[in-house]
């Protein structure tokens, strides 16, 4: 792997310039105004795979945005790594909070600022560049397949059917993903759990039109008042969720396991300072890291209704709405939780309003075991490049397809991400450290090498 360090050094600037070009294409999957750019991004990724030395590169059409596929099979007898990532990004708004335009990347304080810099263009592109390094230096130790999708940020609706239809094509020994975080630049970690998701939109309707709030106020239900009360009732005094059956199957971890998890470094003071909050808030009986990893949650993501323009308008609105996400933990099912929510939410509505619950996308939680050679290979790789062993951590975000890799392809997923929780993914001023970008490119070939070695050992 020595010669790779030299290659990385020599091509550092080009590796960065290429990523900046990729970041300039606004591949916002949620907003159809960007449709052409999303497809353009897929083509960019496909070309970069070809340039790096991949064969059979294609844009696989789906009912939505294409999936970029490419492979390098050097010997069918060798193990195969399936790399998954996504080339779509979150919408950039609110635009006025960005210090520089989201699709005009700038480097400041050794960080790349742009939408998608970390999630996931920067992290996905590390894999393309690591592959290029191994190809150009003739040291790719095993087979590799790339599957890069363009709809992760909108729920990956078209990916499960693609998996089911391409089980043979996607045959591999392990899935490798960089779309998660490490604890700190001097403390690597490997993500061993992701939460699932149920996402619903609710609408409360009162009178058939907006009314004068003086003439009618006090006698007719105000949907905004009612919706606030209904939402407030979804948590009790201890910040537990009140939906009957919500916690039914929730995985209960032993005190030993929780104590072990609690050893990961975490500074509550630094956390509060970073977020500019005086105190944290969450379910009684659990620590901050537990609240954001092993416990389920319910949050309003957006809420609207009535007059929100300039000045004051006296109006009793006809409708109020909210988007609500629930993060799920092992043994909760996204479909079941959505059902329970719907039933409960309808049941708590007063007779003076009508309620409509519309489910959006969902996804199942995933826990990845650490007693497999994929995990061991990631430990070896990160230990080699960080000079420090990584700690297993469970994270709060969701990558719904991970559960399906196991279910449909029978594959374990290794979540070897290089982002930081402070990278502001999904937020204004998203960024990705140059250190992290290059560290990822440096580490990935070690994973390939270790995985190939460990596969050989376990076969013999
Ligand atoms: N990369 C994130 C997931 C993530 C973030 C995992 C941080 C661990 C740490 C991914 O792109 C994402 O944002 N997923 C969505 C889910 C999707 C269904 C919209 C999420 O978690 O909200
Ligand atoms: Mn992502
Ligand atoms: Mn994301």
Among 312, 335, 363, residue at a domain's last position: 363
Among 328, 363, 398, residue at a domain's last position: 363
Query: Candidates 153, 196, 424: which one to mutate for ligand 1, based on the most atoms within 8 Å of Cβ?
Result: 153
Higher pLDDT, 2 or 144: 144
Contact 143, 56 (CB under 8 A): no
Residues 245 and 110 in one domain: no
Residues 118 and 13 in one domain: yes
Q: What pLDDT, in 10s, does the model give residues 148-183?
A: 999 999 999 999 999 999 999 999 999 999 999 999
CA-based torsion, 412, 249, 283, 90: positive or negative: positive
Helix-strand-coil percent breakdown of the chain, rounded to 5? 35, 25, 40
Atom of ligand 1 nearest to the CA of 400: 18
Q: What pLDDT, in 10s, does the model give residues 27-44?
A: 999 999 999 999 999 999
Query: Candidates 160, 179, 404: which one to mutate for ligand 1, based on the most atoms within 8 Å of Cβ?
Result: 179
Residues 187 and 92 in one domain: yes
Among 330, 348, 363, residue at a domain's last position: 363
Residue 92: give its domain's CATH number: 3.40.630.10
Nearest to 430 by CA among 438, 419, 415: 419
Question: Which ligand minimizes its atom distance to the CA of 90?
Answer: 3
Nearest CA to ligand 1 atom 19: 153
Residues 227 and 354 in one domain: yes
Atom of ligand 1 nearest to the CA of 179: 1
Residues 346 and 430 in one domain: no
CA-based torsion, 286, 288, 292, 293: positive or negative: negative
Residues 144 and 210 in one domain: no
Mark residue 24 as left, alpha or beta (left: phi above 0; alpha: psi -120 to 50; beta: remaining). Answer: alpha
Q: What pLDDT, in 10s, does the model give residues 281-323?
A: 999 999 999 999 999 999 999 999 999 999 999 999 999 999 9
Contact 147, 112 (CB under 8 A): no
Q: In Å, what is the CA distance from 107 to each residue of 17, 411, 429?
A: 11, 37, 12
Q: How far is the CA of 361 from the centre of ligand 2 (A)?
A: 16
Contact 80, 144 (CB under 8 A): yes
Q: Given pLDDT bands bounded at 50, 70 and 90, which one contains residue 234? A: very high
Percentage of the residues of the chain whose pLDDT score is greater than 70:
100
Residue 418, pLDDT above cutoff 90: yes
Helix spans in 387-433 (H): 401-409
Q: For residue 147, give the H/E element and its range.
A: strand 143-149
Residues 240 and 187 in one domain: no
Q: How far is the CA of 125 from the centre of ligand 2 (A)?
A: 12
Q: What pLDDT, in 10s, does the model give residues 235-262?
A: 999 999 999 999 999 999 999 999 999 9
Atom of ligand 1 nearest to the CA of 361: 18
Residues 316 and 347 in one domain: yes
Percentage of the residues of the chain whose pLDDT score is greater than 90:
98
**Beta pairing, strands 431-433 & 111-113:** antiparallel
Using DSSP's 3-state secondary structure scheme, residue 83 falls into strand
Q: What pLDDT, in 10s, does the model give residues 102-127?
A: 999 999 999 999 999 999 999 999 99
Tokens of 396: 């709060």
Q: How far apart are CA 9 and CA 161, in angstroms?
A: 41
Residue 255 lies in a domain: no
Q: What is the pLDDT of residue 3?
A: 85
Mean pLDDT value across the chain: 97
Residue 277 lies in a domain: no
Tokens of 188: 């690597």
Please enumerate in sequence order all residues whose Cβ is within 8 A of that of 83, keeping only pairs 6 or more positions apart, or say none: 127, 131, 144, 145, 146, 147, 148, 175, 176, 177
The pTM for the full model equals 0.95
Residues 53 and 160 in one domain: yes
Q: What is the pLDDT of residue 147?
A: 98
Q: Which residues line ligand 1 (CB under 6 A)?
A: 119-120, 152-153, 155, 179-181, 194, 197, 361, 363, 395, 397-400
Q: What is the pLDDT of residue 341?
A: 98
Q: What pLDDT, in 10s, does the model give residues 62-98?
A: 999 999 999 999 999 999 999 999 999 999 999 999 9
Residue 303: give its domain's CATH number: 3.30.70.360
Structural domain for 83, as ranges: 2-194+365-459
Please enumerate in sequence order all residues whose Cβ is within 8 A of that of 67, keeping only pairs 6 or more positions apart, or say none: 59, 60, 147, 148, 149, 150, 158, 159, 162
Residues 106 and 170 in one domain: yes
Residue 278 lies in a domain: no
Residues 348 and 454 in one domain: no
Q: How far apart are CA 234 and CA 335, in angstroms?
A: 19
CA-based torsion, 298, 301, 305, 311: positive or negative: positive
Q: What is the pLDDT of residue 459?
A: 82
Residues 65 and 173 in one domain: yes
Q: What is the pLDDT of residue 361?
A: 87
Tokens of 302: 């957006």
Q: What is the DSSP annotation of 150-188?
A: S-GGGT-TTHHHHHHHTTTTT--SEEEE--SB-SBTTB-
Contact 106, 100 (CB under 8 A): yes
Q: What is the pLDDT of residue 1?
A: 74
134 φ/ψ angles, rounded to the nearest 5 degrees: -70, -40
Q: What is the pLDDT of residue 460?
A: 72
Q: How far is the CA of 99 from the centre of ligand 2 (A)?
A: 22
């Amino acid at each position: 792997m020595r010669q790779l360090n030299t290659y990385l050094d020599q091509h550092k600037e080009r590796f960065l310039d290429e990523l900046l070009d990729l970041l300039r294409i606004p591949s916002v999957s949620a907003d159809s105004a960007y449709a052409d750019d999303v497809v353009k991004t897929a083509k960019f990724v496909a070309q970069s795979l070809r340039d790096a030395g991949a064969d059979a590169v294609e844009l696989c059409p789906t009912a939505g945005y294409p999936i970029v596929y490419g492979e390098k099979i050097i010997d069918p007898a060798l193990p195969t790594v399936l790399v998954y990532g996504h080339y779509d990004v979150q919408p950039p708004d609110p635009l006025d909070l960005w210090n520089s335009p989201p699709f005009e990347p700038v480097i400041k304080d050794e960080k790349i600022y742009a939408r998608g810099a970390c999630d996931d263009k920067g992290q996905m592109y590390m894999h393309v560049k690591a592959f290029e390094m191994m190809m150009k230096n003739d040291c790719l130790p095993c087979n590799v397949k790339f599957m890069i999708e363009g709809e992760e940020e909108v729920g990956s609706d078209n990916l499960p059917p693609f998996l089911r239809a391409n089980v043979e094509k996607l045959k591999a020994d392990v899935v490798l993903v960089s779309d998660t975080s490490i604890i700190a630049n001097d403390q690597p970690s490997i993500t061993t759990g992701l939460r699932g998701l149920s996402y619903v939109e609710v609408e409360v309707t009162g009178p058939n039109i907006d009314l004068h709030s003086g003439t009618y106020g006090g006698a007719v239900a105000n949907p905004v008042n009612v919706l606030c009360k209904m939402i407030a009732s979804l948590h009790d005094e201890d910040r537990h969720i009140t939906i009957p059956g919500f916690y039914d199957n929730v995985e209960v971890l032993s005190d030993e396991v929780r104590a072990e998890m609690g050893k990961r470094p975490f500074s509550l003071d630094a956390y509060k300072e970073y977020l500019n909050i005086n105190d944290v808030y969450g379910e009684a009986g659990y620590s901050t890291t537990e609240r954001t990893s092993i416990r389920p949650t319910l949050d309003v993501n957006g809420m609207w209704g009535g007059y929100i323009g300039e000045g004051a308008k006296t109006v009793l609105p006809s409708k109020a709405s909210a988007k609500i996400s629930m993060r799920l933990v092992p043994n909760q099912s996204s479909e079941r939780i959505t059902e329970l929510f719907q039933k409960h939410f309808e049941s708590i509505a007063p007779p003076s309003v009508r309620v409509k619950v519309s489910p959006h996308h969902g996804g199942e939680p995933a826990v990845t075991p650490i007693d497999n050679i994929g995990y061991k290979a990631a430990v070896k790789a990160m230990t080699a490049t960080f000079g420090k062993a990584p700690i297993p951590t469970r994270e709060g975000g969701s990558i719904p397809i991970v559960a399906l890799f196991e279910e449909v392809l029978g594959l374990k997923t290794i979540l070897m991400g290089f982002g930081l929780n402070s990278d502001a993914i999904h937020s204004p001023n998203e960024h990705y450290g140059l250190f992290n970008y290059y560290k990822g490119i440096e580490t990935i070939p070690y994973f390939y090498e270790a995985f190939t070695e460990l596969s050989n050992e376990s076969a013999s």
